[in-house]
Amino acid sequence: MGELHLDIVVDRLRREYGVDAHVGRPQVVYRETLAKAAEAEARFEREIEDEKVFGQARVRVAPRPRGSGNQVSLAVTKVRVAVRCARIPDTPRAILDAALEGATEAMRSGPRGLSLRGHRRVCHRHRVPPRRSTPAGQRAAVGEALRLASREAGTRLLDPS
């Protein structure tokens, strides 16, 4: 809406409903989108309260057509560990949920601090060493990898709509 539309609505609120509306300066909300595809990898390793927190992820980001929304997909690659022919366990659901949560959280804002729109983020090499990854570590690793990939891809401002 333009300023004239806003003035008309404020006038109607005052005149028809007796509402004393305090009106500030209109602000334009800009959004940003990715300029090109990029990849990045991040590793998160900390010791918090005598507990090791670990996560590692490699992600790929790519722009999508305007208006198509954001898309996140996850593909898991198992890491082979030599443990006397022991079966490598499947990735725990909590780790996968944490990775998706980290991706969703990182998508809230881009490198310029504006809301990101119309991009695809694929966590295509989500390395999960058995007995080592933790949900908090994986969430942090995916979030950091997405931020690094977004910076590398670069962004451009979208016209407000």
> Does the pLDDT at position 121 exceed 70?
no
Sign of the Cα pseudo-torsion (115, 106, 103, 79, in order): positive
Q: How confident is the model at residue 85 (pLDDT cuts 50, 70, 90)?
A: very low
Q: How many CB atoms lie within 10 A of CB 95?
A: 19
- How many angstroms separate the first and last alpha carbons of the chain? 10
pLDDT at 12 over 90: yes
Which of 55, 43, 51, 32 has its CA nearest to residue 114? Answer: 32
Residues 6+ apart with CB under 8 A from 103: 59, 72, 74, 121, 123, 142, 143, 146
d(CA 56, CA 149): 14
Asked if the model's pLDDT at residue 14 lies above 80, the reply is yes
pLDDT at 17 over 90: yes
Walk me through the domains of the chain, giving residue ranges and CATH numbers: 31-158 (3.30.230.10)
Average pLDDT, the chain: 79
**Residues 15-34, mean pLDDT to the nearest whole number:** 85
- 64 pLDDT band (50/70/90 cuts)? confident
